[in-house]
């Protein structure tokens, strides 16, 4: 994220020195499994999130051996102008050996515990059979500090996240809605899987990266050298990488710049049934599935077409309602009744779609929230306050899948600031793209902004998303 943002700086060569110095202060990761990148060719970076708690005041946490809590491959493709992201499930079952000892059917994140970043790199390269050019390791504290120094990251939180402080897991209490997540709150959000699946957490991490990348494009980071230095310093000794020297940093920045304005493709692992292994339930993939995933990661492209400007579709034909697109039904009456109750707590008109998905049509599958947005320091627009609402539906097609409609009296949030648009009827719709999928479709009505959001798996089709957005109207 930082490299992609720095790439546009007019003082790029000056910045290269700052970043190079920061990388040199981290742990050097050496491995024969790394492949030297060729000029102008795609670059694949292994990003490992270490759950090291050496800074913890709790002795058992500080002494606990770290795992690679997150395993993500990021591919910068200058030729296609795109970024591809793939998360490897931490519970994936693998067999590996270290110093002559064989570990049979262990979780893939344990390779980091027993052999550190270099062993993780080798295991992942051998599993996927792809060249990896660079590796970057960041621990909990560094992640939280960087998010704080960036002025927090605005995230469209899709459902209620709660883990009590005494649960043994990282505590979190965040209601749905568009809001800034800071420090350890952002960390807890990306790591949450108490009621979601591992695959939901992987998708959420990728979604966080996508939204942060988009937001960084509008920050004052590049025109504020003091702030940039604080961000770099926040990485501190919690960073580990093979990247050393100005030439290597400049090469990374140039590749990031070529892909910075393009889409982010997310390549998901298939969710198979877990098996019992030495460390509990573990995930397995067939060789054919691995081959298909790798092919998509290396060679897949993003093609997305916005709807052409046109008149809005008529909702009726000869006096009878038109049939909704496949997978959608008329919004149940109880949702409208609940939304009317919600509207009393919202200081602007509440809009609701006339269509919902079949999976989210059950009465216990929707939630209604009114909320406030308080812009924190050090954002350029800190101190402002807005109101919003969100109606969230559960998508039963996958654990952790939620979609919804949202409204706020803030018409220029980071989410839509670089979104392409298309005129359809009386509305101009803005499209936030996630690879080839419509992740958000927004429109402005008066002084208010409304949008329909897809699940983190993008399980609603583009046609369904557009139909839901077009069916939305203000409650009486």
Q: What is the pLDDT of residue 345?
A: 96
Q: What is the pLDDT of residue 140?
A: 81
Domains of the chain, each with CATH number or no CATH:
2-151+219-299 (3.40.630.190), 316-474 (no CATH)
Q: What is the pLDDT of residue 388?
A: 96
How many residues would you count in the chain? 476
Look up residue 359 and give its two tokens: 């999976």
Q: What is the pLDDT of residue 54?
A: 45
Lowest mean pLDDT among 216-230, 285-299, 423-437, 451-465: 216-230
Look up residue 207 and give its two tokens: 């979604």
Higher-confidence residue of 310 and 254: namely: 254
Q: What is the pLDDT of residue 166?
A: 81
Lowest mean pLDDT among 26-30, 149-153, 308-312, 412-416: 308-312
CB within 8 A of 21, min separation 6: which ones?
232
Q: What is the pLDDT of residue 161?
A: 93
Q: What is the pLDDT of residue 318?
A: 39
Q: What is the pLDDT of residue 15?
A: 67
The position carrying tokens 């790439």 is 7
Q: What is the pLDDT of residue 226?
A: 66
Number of other residues whose CB lies within 10 A of the CB of residue 45: 21
Grade residue 133 by pLDDT with cuts at 50, 70 and 90. Answer: very high
Give the relative orientation of helices 198-216 and 183-191 as an angle to the nearest 10 degrees: 140
Q: What is the pLDDT of residue 237?
A: 64
Kindly state the average pLDDT of the residues 82-111. Answer: 87
pTM of the model: 0.81
The position carrying tokens 């759950």 is 51
Higher-confidence residue of 210 and 276: namely: 210
Q: What is the pLDDT of residue 316?
A: 46
pLDDT tens readout for residues 414-429: 899 888 999 998 899 9
Pick the closest to residue 469 from 456, 449, 453 (CA basis). 453
Lowest mean pLDDT among 38-52, 261-275, 292-306: 261-275
Backbone CA torsion sign across 460, 190, 379, 2: negative
In this predicted structure, the answer to whether residue 194 has a pLDDT above a threshold of 90 is no
Report the C-alpha gap between 454 and 439 in whole angstroms. 5
pLDDT tens readout for residues 363-409: 566 799 999 988 765 555 556 789 999 999 988 666 778 999 999 99
Residue 6 forms beta bridges with which residues?
Answer: none
Grade residue 281 by pLDDT with cuts at 50, 70 and 90. Answer: low
Highest mean pLDDT pick, 16-25, 85-94, 296-305:
85-94
CA diameter of the chain: 77
In this predicted structure, the answer to whether residue 207 has a pLDDT above a threshold of 60 is yes
CA distances from 73 to 78, 130, 235, 385 (A): 16, 11, 20, 37
- Residue 396, Cβ density class (10 Å: 0-12 exposed, 13-18 middle, ≥19 buried): middle
Number of other residues whose CB lies within 10 A of the CB of residue 10: 9
Percent of the chain scoring above 90 in pLDDT: 32
Q: What is the pLDDT of residue 177?
A: 95
- Mean pLDDT for the chain overall: 81
Q: What is the pLDDT of residue 56?
A: 42
Q: What is the pLDDT of residue 276?
A: 53
Grade residue 252 by pLDDT with cuts at 50, 70 and 90. Answer: confident
pLDDT tens readout for residues 168-178: 778 899 999 99
Highest mean pLDDT pick, 289-298, 309-318, 395-404, 438-447:
438-447
């Amino acid at each position: 994220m930082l490299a992609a943002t720095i790439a546009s700086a007019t003082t790029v060569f000056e910045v290269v020195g700052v970043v190079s110095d920061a990388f040199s202060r981290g742990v050097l990761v050496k491995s024969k499994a790394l492949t030297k990148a060729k000029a102008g060719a795609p670059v694949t970076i292994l990003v490992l999130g270490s759950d090291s708690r050496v800074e913890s005041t709790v002795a058992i946490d500080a002494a606990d051996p770290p795992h690679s809590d997150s395993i993500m491959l990021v591919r910068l493709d200058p030729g296609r102008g795109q970024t591809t992201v793939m998360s490897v499930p931490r519970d994936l079952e693998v067999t590996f050996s270290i110093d002559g000892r064989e570990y049979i059917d262990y979780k893939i994140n344990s390779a980091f515990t027993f052999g550190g970043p270099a062993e993780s790199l080798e295991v992942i390269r051998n599993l996927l059979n792809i060249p990896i050019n660079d590796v970057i390791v960041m621990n909990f504290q560094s992640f939280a500090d960087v998010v704080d120094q960036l002025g927090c990251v605005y995230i469209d939180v899709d459902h209620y996240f709660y883990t009590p402080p005494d649960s043994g897991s990282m505590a979190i209490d965040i209601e749905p809605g568009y809001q800034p997540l800071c420090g350890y709150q952002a960390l807890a959000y990306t790591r949450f899987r108490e009621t979601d699946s591992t695959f939901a957490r992987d998708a959420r991490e990728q979604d966080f990266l996508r939204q942060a990348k988009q937001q960084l494009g509008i920050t004052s980071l590049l025109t504020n050298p003091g702030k940039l230095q604080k961000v770099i310093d926040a990485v501190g000794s919690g960073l580990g990488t093979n990247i050393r020297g100005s030439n290597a940093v400049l090469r990374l920045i140039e590749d990031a710049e070529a892909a910075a304005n393009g889409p982010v493709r997310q390549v998901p692992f298939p969710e198979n049934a877990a098996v019992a292994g030495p460390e509990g339930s573990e995930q397995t993939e067939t060789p054919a599935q691995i081959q298909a995933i790798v092919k998509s990661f290396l060679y897949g492209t993003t093609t997305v077409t916005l709807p052409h400007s046109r008149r809005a579709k008529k909702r009726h034909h000869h006096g009878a309602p038109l049939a909704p697109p496949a997978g959608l039904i008329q919004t149940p009456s109880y949702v409208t009744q609940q939304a009317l109750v919600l509207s009393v707590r919202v200081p602007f008109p509440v809009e609701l779609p006339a269509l919902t998905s079949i999976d989210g049509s059950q009465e216990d599958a929707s939630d209604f929230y009114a909320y406030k947005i308080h812009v924190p320091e050090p954002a350029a627009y800190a101190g402002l306050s807005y109101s919003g609402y969100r109606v969230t539906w559960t998508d039963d097609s996958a654990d952790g899948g939620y979609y919804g409609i949202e409204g706020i009296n803030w018409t220029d949030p980071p989410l839509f600031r670089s979104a392409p648009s298309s005129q359809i009827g009386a509305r101009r719709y803005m499209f936030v793209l996630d690879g080839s999928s419509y992740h958000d479709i927004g429109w402005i009505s008066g002084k208010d902004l409304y949008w329909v959001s897809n699940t983190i798996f993008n399980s609603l089709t583009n046609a369904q998303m557009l139909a839901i957005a077009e069916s939305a109207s203000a409650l009486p």
